[in-house]
Amino acid sequence: MKFKKPLLMFCTLALVAMLAACGNKDEGSQGSTSGTNNDTAALSGSVLAVGSTALQPLVEQVAQKFMADPKYSKIQVQVQGGGSGTGLTQVAGGQAAIGNSDVFAEEKLKDADADKAKDLIDHQVAVVGIAAVTNPDVGVDSLTKQQLIDIFSGKVKNWKEVGGKDQAIVIVNRPASSGTRKTFEKYALGTSTEDIKGSIQEESSGTVKKIVAENPGAIGYLALSYLDDKVKTVKYDGVEATVDNVKSGDYPVWHMSICTRRASLNQKLKHSLITWLPMKYKKVT
């Protein structure tokens, strides 16, 4: 589990390649196609990427860079939110070219929809580290895996039981359908938890941060990009949640951000995609 390239660079490259590939398609995109695969300068049209609101700012940023490139200046990339489920629905239904989500397509499309997933290809475009955060006043610096399990399963109800001050714990969780919650439960807790009575659930990172920052005794979890002084980032088993620690493999709580596309869409541009997209990274844990 080693990352050789800087994360942002990796993510930018992968997306640029995907966008270039998708710019040439009819489904989920409008516009004319001209030129051949190798002649990317002649690409034009529009690409629609729909999905996770958490991933949206990132994809928007990449899309801006992509469109700023003179080679792709005729391609219009539209990035929409709506949630990872909506993204996958639209990719599977052909309304969008790319679906952004924080889980693999097969994990979302289960049971009756499993055959839909066969036609979809996942591209891992970014790594998102997730850190447990608390209100700055709880007086806890580091939590072990077991302590986190106890907190999120409701066994521990006061911060003094895990070395903090005498203050009731307020859990700020994500809804059951959230990919961030699934990641946190899988890699930080190792078990899925039930919704505790009295716990708060918020879908958006901004609201989670606001509530954790203002509510005494609150604990939640956020993607690393949202961390700042307003909330206290706690170490996980003594390891600090930093980009470097994620890269080195010391910090285990992270997930892949996924851009999903339809397999059948991309016959012509397979070549350019493979040369561009370093898809060697797989999660080995």
Interface contacts to other proteins, rule CB under 8 A: 30-31, 46, 48, 50, 53-54, 56-57, 60-61, 64, 67, 76-86, 88-90, 92-93, 95, 108-113, 170, 175-179, 192-207, 210-211, 214-215, 225-226
Contact by Cβ (8 Å): 83, 75: no
Residue with Cβ nearer other proteins (115 or 282): 115
CA 77 – CA 49 distance, rounded (Å): 7
Nearer to other proteins, 69 or 195 (CB): 195
Q: How far is the CB of 179 from other proteins (least distance, A)?
A: 7
Q: How far is the CB of 90 from other proteins (least distance, A)?
A: 7
CB-CB neighbours of 119 under 10 Å: 14
If the CB atoms of residues 30 and 248 are measured against other proteins, the closer one turns out to be 30
| Cβ-based nearer residue to other proteins, 22 or 273 | 22
CB of 272 to other proteins, least distance (A): 23
Q: Shortest distance, CB of residue 175 to other proteins, whole angstroms?
A: 5
Q: Which is nearer to other proteins, 113 or 240 (CB)?
A: 113
From 160, 144, 141, select the one nearest 152 (Cα to Cα).
Answer: 144
**b/e code 54-79 from CB counts within 10 Å (16+ = b):** bbbebbbebbeebbeeeebebbbbeb
Task: Give the single-character DSSP code of 241.
Answer: -
Residue 256 φ/ψ, nearest 5 degrees: -85, 140
